[in-house]
Structure 1
Amino acid sequence: MSSTISPFHLSIPDSELADLRNRLAQTRWPDPETVSDNSQGPRQAKLRALVARWQDGYDWRRCESMLNGLGQHRTEIEGLNVHFLHIRSPEPGAMPLLMTHGWPGSVLEFRDVIGPLTDPVAHGGQAQDAFHLVIPSLPGFAFSDKPAATGWTVERIADAWIILMGRLGYERWAAQGGDWGAAVTTAIGYKAPPGLACIHLNMVMFQPSEQECAEATPHERKMLADARRYDQQFSGYFKLQATRPQSIGFSLADSPVGLAAWIYALFQDVSDSGGDVESVFALDHVIDHIMLYWVSNSGASAARLYWEAMQVMQHGKDPDAPMATPTGISMFPGEQLRLSQRWAERRFANLVHFNELTRGGHFAAMEQPAAFVDEVRRTLGALR
């Protein structure tokens, strides 16, 4: 295994972009939905507007240039080349922070928080709040290699990220994540490698016990109701990708509009937008995420992470003891899977920060970047 870290320069050939434009122009649209809301999924008018922008006015080279400017790299870990952003702060005392995205996100989830976290002085903050950022693409996502065999579980990804931080020379560092990033970050927290100072989560994957459900306060009953609604109305993608990822994978690889609708649905359903994606997210930013999946043909390989996780969940068990690693948790109200502070305290033995915010959803760093940055700083401030 090579320990070489190589610069990665992104340059999608013009021929691939021309093929994309041709596919978009030849889209065969389904009949419109038969309802006046989002209950059947993304509405045709919304997707037609997205595709119209995609075809006329959207500039992929802008996103490509931004990623190249941030500093992209690849390195081989456990036989898999991992793509990551590495943005060093100008502040010599900055703390290294590993940040992991989820699905259907990407490293672009963090674009609006990179500046304030790495160079706080330039954004109205203090030098003591600075971080060096390491932002990897999950295996099978974007420009990380696609696993050719089973076994790339959340636990294995956590081990790979620990190797990555050591390879970069970081002796003391912290980790942050939401969605699959939260699962990976939680696994790192349980592993407690030497040098890990703290973790921060904006989502916690947990199942309340029967006793907790029975004794739930009115506030906690609202959390349980939202989780049930997610399972009943919004989780179709999860169940399909966890059981038959290859079935949807053919569509995600062949149809850009199919890929766009599959991704757009999550931005619609689990953000704090009331189902109006464009009220929270810049449409070009949504297309940027879709493009990372399209140009890397990673729709199927990313979906298979759900299948991998389900194999473990079916045979695993909850940890026997609360996590000892210092942990900060930020609960955004639009997140469908939330937990209360008392539920968190039973699972995290050293809960150094817990806060329930008033705005924001599943894509916290994109929806509420200023609040997200403040939560990370408040969690890690005393542990530098």
Structure 2
Amino acid sequence: MAVKPFQITVSDDILTDLRARLARTLYTTASDSAYWAAGVDPGYLRELVTYWADGFDWHAAEAALNAFPHYVADVDGRRVHFVHVRAERVEGAPEPLPLVLTHGWPSSFVEMLRVTRLLADPAAHGGDPADAFDVVVPSLPGFLFSDLPRDLFTRRGVARTWHTLMTETLGYRRFGAFGGDIGGGVTQWLGALHPGEVAGVHITSAVVTSNFGENPATPEERTFLDALDAYDVTDQGYSEIMCTRPDTIAAALMDSPAGLVAWIVDKYRDWSDCDGDLEKSWDKDTILTVATLYWATGTIGSSFRQYYDYANNRPVPTIGVPAAVTLSHEPAFANFPRSLAERIFADLRHWSVPRRGGHFMAHEEPEQVARELREFFRPLRSAG
């Protein structure tokens, strides 16, 4: 399980081919007169693609990414890529708590970079050095530089891999876990499977699952679940195709960078807390950094695997380790009742509804996330 330093490098041949494809992009016309009502606005897409071809500086973006320490390691027979930022040690401060941050879809490790510096070096950002973390940000299996698992992609399986990465590969005896979306599911499973090593779990998008057989949903819970079903009717088209025909849509997105970035930004705009203005949450350079990473690694198709295999996920059992929820501010989780989280978390110590920061909260509101993580984990740092 040797850990090897890693540098992100995209060849000039790939970049030349990318720009040529972008220059040949064909655009559709809008299906609805309302802006973005039928998906990505063609005018915005043209603007974004033009900038990708002629204005975006990938080499500057690549250098900024490589300013973080990247590594790869063989974990359970498959390659895992991760960023590992060790805390700034301050004399007299306690040992930093290791913390693994897990992203979701259509995201990447980039989502977690803004908060990583705040967590690893709080003193440099007006915080207490006693709150420092050793931060590990892996790329999910099949995303960018990490291999797909040999068998099914499940949240439970990723949690086992992350446990091996943190304990056997990196040698941490005890650690915390944070995530949203897929990363939230992985985080829950880390707490459920490994209570001896996991100090606590913290999620944002409230991806809890529960069996209502013995304890029927309360009226408040039923109201929320009905609202979520209604929301999914308008939002879930992307999911249905990736769950049932991922290779069909992947064929288009692997061949068209414009299609690839459209597929990504559709969800960035819908799920971010941006009031319909995508670039309040995601500036063009960050969007195109993520899109270029997906394009250069050819992994948009493999990132769909967790959708195709979704039916193989089992319900999460009751989680006994200390837990926290900082609820994301997005339509899918509006009025999410605390009682749903309490069905899964037996020791829910921190519940926060800041009404700021959407599905990609660590990127959208890094100071808020850093503050909430410090507060939640502060009393959990020692094994007691």
Q: How does 1:107-186 map to 2 (within 5 A)?
A: 107-147=109-149, 149-166=150-167, 167-186=169-188
Cα distance change, pair 179–383 in 1 and its aligned pair in 2 (3 A): same
Structure 1 portions without partners, runs of 5+? none
In structure 2, what residue type is equivalent to 1:365?
A: A
Number of equivalent positions: 373
Match of 1:333 in 2: 329
Shift of 1:226: 4.7
Task: Please give the secondary structure, in 1, of the residue aligned with 2:35.
Answer: coil
Match of 1:75 in 2: 73
Shift of 1:335: 5.5
TM-score normalised to structure 2 length:
0.92
Q: How does 1:1-384 map to 2 (within 5 A)?
A: 3-91=1-89, 93-147=95-149, 149-166=150-167, 167-207=169-209, 209=212, 213-216=217-220, 221=223, 223-224=224-225, 226-310=227-311, 312-313=312-313, 316-317=314-315, 319=317, 322-334=318-330, 336-337=332-333, 339-384=336-381
TM-score normalised to structure 1 length:
0.92
Shift of 1:308: 1.5
Q: Deviations 1:256-286 (Å, cap 9, x if unpaired)?
A: 0110110011011111112220122212111
In structure 2, what residue type is equivalent to 1:333?
A: H
Cα distance change, pair 43–116 in 1 and its aligned pair in 2 (3 A): same
Shift of 1:337: 3.3
In structure 1, what residue type is equivalent to 2:345?
A: F
Structure 2 portions without partners, runs of 5+? none
Rounded Cα–Cα distance in structure 1 between residues aligned with 2:328 and 2:302? 29
* 8 A Cα contact 2:244 2:308, kept in partner: yes
* 8 A Cα contact 2:316 2:344, kept in partner: no
Shift of 1:32: 2.6
Shift of 1:67: 2.1
Shift of 1:95: 0.8
Rounded Cα–Cα distance in structure 1 between residues aligned with 2:157 and 2:105? 17
Shift of 1:129: 1.1
Shift of 1:91: 2.0
Rounded Cα–Cα distance in structure 2 between residues aligned with 1:143 and 1:215? 45
* 8 A Cα contact 2:109 2:137, kept in partner: yes
Q: Deviations 1:152-177 (Å, cap 9, x if unpaired)?
A: 32211111100000110111110111
State the identity as a percent: 36
In structure 1, what residue type is equivalent to 2:123?
A: V
Rounded Cα–Cα distance in structure 1 between residues aligned with 2:271 and 2:227? 11
* 8 A Cα contact 2:185 2:208, kept in partner: no
Tell me whether 36-45 or 261-270 shows the greater mean CA deviation. Answer: 36-45
* 8 A Cα contact 2:189 2:316, kept in partner: no
Rounded Cα–Cα distance in structure 1 between residues aligned with 2:197 and 2:371? 23
